Amino acid sequence: MFTEDNSYSHHITNYKDEHGNSYTLEWYTDRTEDLILTNIWVKPEYRGKGFGNKILCLAEEAAKLGCFKRLFVKVAGLTWQNDWYRRHGFEFFETDKYDNSYIWRVKQIKD
């Protein structure tokens, strides 16, 4: 799916709110229209209160502002997280080529 060698530049940006909830966005210079969302973290005392949904919306807005067309996530296939991303509009893209218990999901951000 994404470049595993070091021939392309890899960029990372991190977001953290005032409660310590966070996410990471990653992109590669060989895939200028794609953004990868990783490391969504909601502190246990804030779970089930909409913070994850808020963080996901912020990540999607960052993707739109950055002129990316697609937002990707890699998630374990048989988990509540997989269902959560599906409910938020992320469609199946492919099974991870390095670990088939994980899948890539994608959400179209812009046409």
N-terminal to C-terminal alpha carbon distance within the chain? 20
Please state whether beta strands 102-108 and 70-76 pair in parallel, antiparallel, or not at all (unpaired): antiparallel
Q: What pLDDT, in 10s, does the model give residues 67-91? A: 899 999 999 998 999 999 999 999 9
More confident residue, 29 or 69: 69
- Cα–Cα distance for residue pair 53/88, rounded to 1 Å: 9
More confident residue, 59 or 2: 59
Q: What is the pLDDT of residue 80?
A: 92
Q: 87 to each of 20, 41, 82, how far by Cα in Å? A: 24, 18, 9
| 1 pLDDT more than 60 | no
| 26 pLDDT more than 60 | yes
107 Cβ partners below 8 Å, 6+ apart?
A: 60, 70, 71, 88, 89, 90, 91
